[in-house]
Chains A and B, each alone.
Chain A
Amino acid sequence: MAASNASYFASALLGRPVIDKLGQPLGVLHDLSMERGERLPYIAGLVVRKGQETSCIPWIAVDLFNAYVIAVDLERAPAEPFDPDGEGVILVRRDIMDKQIVDVEGARLVRVNDLKVEGCLDALCVTAVDTGVRGLARRLGQERLWGFVSGLFRKDLPHKEISWQFVQPLDDKVTSLSLTVSRDKLVDMHPADLAEIISQLPHEDAEKMLLSLDDETAGEALAEMEPEEGGRLLSRMEKERASDILEEMAPDEAADVLTELPDDEAQELLGLMDAEDAEKVQELLEHEEDTAGALMVNEFFALPPAMTAEEALGHIRSKALETELIYYVYVLGEDQRPLGVASLREILGAPPQATLGEIMSQSIKAVHTDSTADEALEMVEKYGLWAVPVLGEDGSLEGVITADDMLSHSLRDSNRRKRFRAKRSF
């Protein structure tokens, strides 16, 4: 049929009578089947129900299509028996309406209350999903009532439509699951927001969503989750992929997640990881919870005292992206014990040929791997540090605790409470 460019809401169409050329009723419109188009999906057929029987009428048979009546010419294309389990069949009511989608702007999960279809060229395309209160009221057939009530409060019923261009199913094969926005949109989200959304999703969708992200984004999101939950997701994932994601995470964050897994499973994942990354994580895993050793990261700058400021800057520049803490350079003797520390500011301000030994400050404040987290925190506070170095039993430098890790550790109880409440509190 020659479709106009009128737009309809699916809720207004579903349940309308469908008649044939002679005006004989064929049943009511039960559902609309859609197919992926080049840019937007289009309506491919009408699922018509009469009594207990359901049939599918191809779109080309449609003569007249509006919110009052739907007329079809069955001579042009006959009705076919409808197979609900057919491969690749996507039904508007069954598979899309009422499902959850991610609202990227608001960084939250919302439900599809209604679907907007618009005539474009000679097809009817799905253009937007309605997630607002107005869509809800419309579905319930109470748009005027709700509008009247909110009018009493001098407010309009809020519209909220998300264009279909941003909507994309998580999984190409299965149709019946939460939809989400296209992947590149997800990658742009802040990892903390992403983590919150993932933790609200049903577990299979959470897994699919995590799998749809690249390793780096997945790692960032996983690090923002409660370790317990991250561990759960990771242990259900394919081992190869899980180890790839772990490699992308900071060693201390990876260690946090791995502690939540059974020993054999954690070891298996470590075995699959890149040897160097695995070793860093393994070291951290050996320390008891809440000690300086468990909190530290083992990526830091340790340079010899004879290196010049210029060389040191070159070194920092080349490794800056893979090192968590770049503000301090620890100057180590041959026995790996720290001789002193130089801040980036001091190095930048020093003459290029000055050696680190000359620039560094010798009074170095450090804790031991088995010191408590509180001792390290006191040091950060007392000396105004960005990080505290952690020494092993033999006095060699094992790692550093950054002030922000410290902060999140000391705020952990309240943070945990908050994050837990973010999900559920009963």
Chain B
Amino acid sequence: MAAVLRKLSRRNILLFLSILGPGIITANVDNDAGGITTYSLAGARYGYGLLWMMLPTMAALVVVQEMCARMGAVTGKGLSDLIRERFGVGVTFYVMIALYLTNLGNTVSEFAGIAASLEIFGVSRFISVPLSAAAVWLLIVKGSYRIVEKVFLFACLIYLAYPLAAILAKPDWMEVARAAVVPDIRWDGGYVTMMIAMVGTTIAPWMQFYQQATVVEKGITREQYAFARLDVIVGCFLAIVVAFFIVASCAAAIHQQGLTVETAADAAQALAPAAGPYATLLFAVGLFNASLFAACVLPLSTAYYICEGMGWELGVDKSFREAPQFFGLFTLSIVLSALVIMVPDAPLLAIMYLSQVVNGAVLPAVLVLMLLIVNDRRIMGAFVNGPAFNAVSWFTVGVVTLLTLILTADAVWPGFMELILPKG
């Protein structure tokens, strides 16, 4: 007891508060447009059916993010740095192409979120998307990201509306609790796709790069590592709590009422118990905030990782001539994503959802590389994974890969899933 109290000294608490951040920020960016959409759809379509995935997903998320925080703290290098130094330029080059494509998909989904949220207010996407794209670009090149980040994080308090809505919708809590721990696996294409999408949106490939980069940027060293670990756990917990309540409130307010979700405005119904007539407004503001924030973070951070890995000049303070690849990469992401959304009648909800599936497919590759690095004694010294950690992470990789392979097979040969499913 005395030892515990000693650990709780003022100095240690201050130290923890100063290190706090990377995990929580990553977790909040994680609940972006694609995240909100996927969780809403999961609740609206399958009720409480998918809640059981939350606990194992959180465990997997903690394991994965903890490894990144540890790699960042021990080596002081970003993930793409480590991939380049450990596996050479060939692997890095193709991983970076895959990462660029998935993050492009995610950025598209963020702009879809912007379009969808502003269309609720009656703003045409042909106005909102080009304007937001220009705003994002200017914010990156001319603005101060630090301030923007604080505003967005503060606005994330909107997520508190979901637990409130879930409580006010008066669900059967026994049912919710049961659904949260008893697995309910259904072998049909839609359900499995949804499972993969949930894993994909909760554990997205960009998050590992982002988490590690923020740990490195904060200058956290191996000595302060215990605090960074706590930060990761707190962050992952918060992310999953928010996700849990989005699913639960959508299940209670949409699925149980027998409603369907076709547009983003439909998904706002979930908040009706808490916000009443303002539900749509609240949903729109929340979605807009999350989308715009992630639309700033993703293109910019992707450009950083790629330039870091390839050894190209980077930094927003550089001129286009000094760092052409850097500026080219993020400008291209923003322009391409905005253009895709402006294709007439682009199915926004489907795009947001699909990008999560792509995430799920690229994730195993990144995880395998991470595991090889984190187990390399030359790089990590005494901080390599323990056997339990390795077992959990290899298991995660195995499960995600398996789910993805099944999904892909089903897309190529429709009916494949029925073939391998147990009858009944």
Contacts and interface: CB of A to CB of B under 8 A. Distances in A.
B86 to A, nearest CB: 9
B contact patch SS: helix
A274 B393 CA distance: 53
A363 interface: no
Contact of A111 (B84, B219, B300): B84
B228 to A, nearest CB: 13
A110 B76 CA distance: 17
A279 interface: no
B93 A140 contact: yes
Contacts of A214: none
A100 interface: yes
Contacts, number: 80
A238 to B, nearest CB: 15
Interface stretch (B140-148, B333-341, B396-404): B140-148
A423 B317 CA distance: 9
Interface stretch (B196-204, B280-288, B307-315): B307-315
A424 interface: yes
A420 B146 contact: yes
A273 B85 CA distance: 40
A131 B88 contact: no
Nearest to A202: B76
Nearest to A142: B93
Given A98-B84, A425-B300, A205 B76 contact: yes
Interface string A123-149: 000000001000010011000000000
Nearest to B29: A426
A202 B315 contact: no
Contact of A426 (B76, B210, B313): B210
B75 A202 contact: yes
Nearest to A205: B76
Nearest to B313: A108
A426 B300 contact: yes
B216 interface: yes
A422 B84 contact: no
A388 B175 CA distance: 73
B213 interface: yes
A206 B75 CA distance: 12
Given A426-B213, A426-B301, A136 B90 contact: no
A23 interface: no
Q: Which of A97, A108, A113 has the most CB of B within 10 A?
A: A108
Contacts of B382: none
A327 to B, nearest CB: 32
Nearest to A203: B76
B88 A98 contact: yes
A378 B263 CA distance: 58
Chain B interface category by residue count: 35 or more
A204 interface: yes
A421 interface: yes
Contacts of B297: 426
A139 B89 contact: yes
A421 B76 contact: no
Contact of A262 (B11, B76, B146): B11
B213 to A, nearest CB: 7
Given A202-B76, A203-B221, A421-B317, A99 B300 contact: no
Nearest to A228: B219
B316 interface: yes
Interface residues of A, number: 37
A412 to B, nearest CB: 13
Interface in A393-426: 417-426
A260 to B, nearest CB: 11
A175 B62 CA distance: 33
Contact of A100 (B75, B145, B311): B311
Interface in B209-238: 210, 213-214, 216-217, 219, 221
Contact of B311 (A111, A229, A417): A111
Interface in A195-234: 201-206, 229, 232
A61 B221 CA distance: 46
Contacts of A417: 144, 146
Given A204-B76, A424-B217, A98 B89 contact: yes
Given A111-B84, A140-B93, A203-B219, A423 B315 contact: yes
A109 to B, nearest CB: 8
A76 interface: no
B219 to A, nearest CB: 5
A239 interface: no
B378 A136 contact: no
A224 to B, nearest CB: 15
B314 to A, nearest CB: 9
Nearest to B139: A425
Contacts of A229: 219
B353 interface: no
Contacts of B89: 97-98, 113, 136, 139-140
B304 A424 contact: yes
Nearest to A99: B85
A62 B301 CA distance: 47
A139 B91 CA distance: 11
Contacts of A108: 313
A267 interface: no
Contacts of A241: none
Contact of A176 (B144, B210, B378): B378
A406 B84 CA distance: 43
B310 A136 contact: yes
A201 B146 CA distance: 21
Given A112-B311, A420-B146, A424-B217, 18 more contacts: A108-B313, A136-B89, A139-B88, A139-B89, A202-B76, A202-B77, A203-B76, A203-B219, A205-B76, A232-B219, A262-B11, A419-B317, A421-B315, A422-B316, A423-B315, A425-B300, A426-B145, A426-B300
Interface of A: 93, 97-100, 106, 108-113, 131, 136, 139-140, 176, 201-206, 229, 232, 236, 262, 417-426
Interface of B: 11, 75-77, 81, 84-85, 88-90, 92-93, 140, 144-146, 210, 213-214, 216-217, 219, 221, 296-297, 300-301, 304, 310-311, 313, 315-318, 378
